[in-house]
Chains A and B, each alone.
Chain A
Amino acid sequence: MSGIVVHLPQAGGDGTGAPGGASVTLRLGPGEVARFGRGSATIPVELRLDDEAISRLAGEIRVTDDHWQLSNHSATQSYLVENPEGAGEYLRVPPRRAGAPIPFEFSRVVLPTRRGTTVAFQVFAPDHVYLDPDGMAGQWGNRTVMAYSLDETALYFLVLVALCEPRLRDESPVAVPTTPQIVERLRGHAACGRLRARAVSSHIDYLAEEKMRISAPPEHGSGGARRNGKREALVGTALRFGLVREEHLALLPPRAAAGIRARETGR
């Protein structure tokens, strides 16, 4: 349980992010607080949102248990917390609401501005805990459980299954798919129609760094090709500890019979 990650992107052409500033990434542990707003010399904020419509102290984020809470210090503005993977799912946090619990693993916090545009930042909560699949829900308190859990409905999980697919099907004991191959493989999936290579790469980074905290133990890290090290370590670990199993192959879109494979091998 390492807490949450808050990311304020650099001001982009889409009018979101920190106007005029560089991107900011904060890592908060359980119990830690980050304030956001326009800030000033007397009202310091950890996350500076430089827009005249935003209060000096617009709100704060507090990490609690495996999730986080959002307090809205504005007296007039509601904030929206969107789940980018939730097909439009969002929460509205009304003015002066203290400590609203946010259930999403991925969130985009959106604050309105006067120009009809918005300022937004992202919050990742990778520590959400899932029960083990054997369904002994009632009394999990004292049970031995897998200490790493993945949301099997999340896009990153689809990417992980696609990464593991060749080995799960015992097709290729060595090869781990490349990013373009994953984009191609997931194209037929309803949620992945617009999945781009960059998104696949960031899902892989998120899995490796936040979800599974992949590391090659120092005394075993000798030699080998390092180029694909991260993907291979992800696949090796996910399969070895049963995080991805044969039954998860059903999550992938059906393979276009021989079509894709023929093209792959034909190259």
Chain B
Amino acid sequence: MHGRGDTSGSDLTEPLPRGYRIGGWEVTEPIASGGWATVYAGRPAEPAEESAKESAKDPAEESAEVALKILPTSGLAPRQARKVAETARREVELDRRAGHPRLIRLLDSVVISDPDRASLDGAIVLVMERAERSLRDLFDAGVAEADVARLFAEICEGLAHLHGSGWVHGDLKPENILLMADGALKLSDFGLATELTGTDGTHGYAPPMGTLDYLPPERWQAPLGEHGVEIRPSADIWALGIMVHEVFASGASPFPGATPVARGAAVQEYADGRAPLRIDGAVPPFWRALAIDCLAPTHADRAAHSAESLLARITARPTPPRPVRRLRGTRAALVTVAVCAVAATVWSHAVGDPSGSRDEPAGRLTVFNADDNCQSRTDRSPQCSLGLAIDPLLPYTIDNVVPMRVWHGDVLAVDCRLAQGVPIIDESDASSTEWYRVRLPAGSSRSSAWLPAVRTADHPRVPDCPRPEPVR
């Protein structure tokens, strides 16, 4: 990824032997290797006779295990070597200017001088606190909901500090969030971290790199300037939303697709208003509302949700009334879920940004299916699909619906509300004459259609619709 060029015959992958000295540190074992760095476990080296005791170290640090992140520069053209140095510089700079208990601490940085190992000569080594595992390892193992709140509160603490200090992480993902042996969580990998610039410090310029599954929609179309691509704190908030979904949905992204590229295309469709956001049914209501806010389609919408405000919400979140998971499948539990969903979603809209540009829908709503057998299904089965009317003043029949179907949990863009349409009675005998005009994906035969208000538990604050003209 960092233009290593022709690596044939190179010995970059040859592991370092145990005990290999790097400055005041020695290698113990390899941890991981990626495209631009290899990470080893290490520890402070026994002071060698000739250089004994030139520096008095903190005794706690003396015994601590460290991680040695090695960024090789040999074999690289000068330009690429400069880029590696730039990566290291970002990490060092960030640590110096924005150190915090929730950010992995940089203990030392060393340049290897070892003419006998051509592949390592000149490599930059960042010496960091040693973590036990990453959030990805934890996601793979499964996380209880109670722990999710603590983990995400700690991520938000780190992010709030980072953003407050004028930096964007730029590559937030479970692999880059580490858990220490004592359970503390720390953000790491600041190779793409960017300091906010501009007159009002709202954005910075980052190298055009990232992890496809965590890139916000605007990044897919971002222009590339000589300083890189524009990046704002809301990019980290998007990544946070993806992770909230992943932790509850067995690691799955909310965006469908078999490959990161397909999921990236789905992100674009969603952001352009051509596809709804489909949150997995396994995400509990509070977290669902949080994820929806983090995954607001534009930077402007997301800007309403800072790491700080998300942290406050997580801290103040109502404790789930009952251990919902154990009751899955029973009617009582589903009712509880539905009630929570109402509360959480309404709240999320109350705190959302009420202003909206012309292209922005006036509001969003989540489709609600009163049939509780359908609420628990996520397979989008035809029996659980709901229709959208073409004309809310005509009988709601098979001739008066658009081809597109919607399902419980889909989030739709709403333009306005019609108070007096054809009355609709749903499966639970709820009745209403209210309808919402919702947007349809581009490419549909119509740009909008009508959802009966009984098909949502939300009450988006949207303007009243002009009385629709008869369609036929």
B-binding residues in A (CB < 8 A): 1-3, 29-33, 63-66, 129, 132-136, 140-148, 212-217, 219-220, 233, 236-237, 239-242, 245-247
Contact = CB atoms under 8 A, between A and B. Distances in A.
A217 B221 contact: no
Contact of B211 (A30, A63, A144, A236): A144
Q: Which of A33, A145, A148, A239 has the most CB of B within 10 A?
A: A145
Contacts of A64: 262, 265
B219 A147 contact: yes
B317 interface: no
B268 interface: yes
Nearest to B443: A33
Interface of B: 1-7, 34-36, 77, 79-80, 83, 136, 171, 173, 175, 191-192, 198-199, 205, 207-213, 215, 219-230, 257, 259-262, 264-269, 272, 274-275, 441-443
A229 to B, nearest CB: 11
Contacts of B175: 142
Contact of B4 (A134, A233, A236, A237): A134
B20 to A, nearest CB: 23
A204 to B, nearest CB: 15
Contacts of A147: 208-210, 212, 215, 219, 229
A220 B225 contact: yes
Nearest to A34: B443
A216 B1 contact: no
Contacts of B274: 29, 31-32
Nearest to B171: A144
26 contacts: A2-B220, A2-B221, A3-B268, A29-B268, A29-B269, A31-B269, A31-B441, A66-B261, A133-B3, A134-B35, A135-B7, A136-B35, A143-B35, A145-B210, A145-B211, A145-B212, A147-B208, A147-B210, A214-B223, A215-B225, A217-B205, A220-B227, A237-B226, A241-B207, A245-B3, A247-B6
B247 to A, nearest CB: 15
B228 A213 contact: no
Contact of B224 (A140, A144, A213, A220): A213
A215 B143 CA distance: 43
A245 to B, nearest CB: 5
A217 B265 contact: no
Contacts of A219: 198-199
B223 A145 contact: no
Contacts of B191: 144
Nearest to B217: A1
Given A213-B223, A217-B225, A144 B210 contact: yes
Q: What are the 6 tightest A-B residue pairs by CB atom distance, in nearest-first order?
A: A215-B223, A30-B265, A132-B1, A242-B3, A31-B269, A213-B223
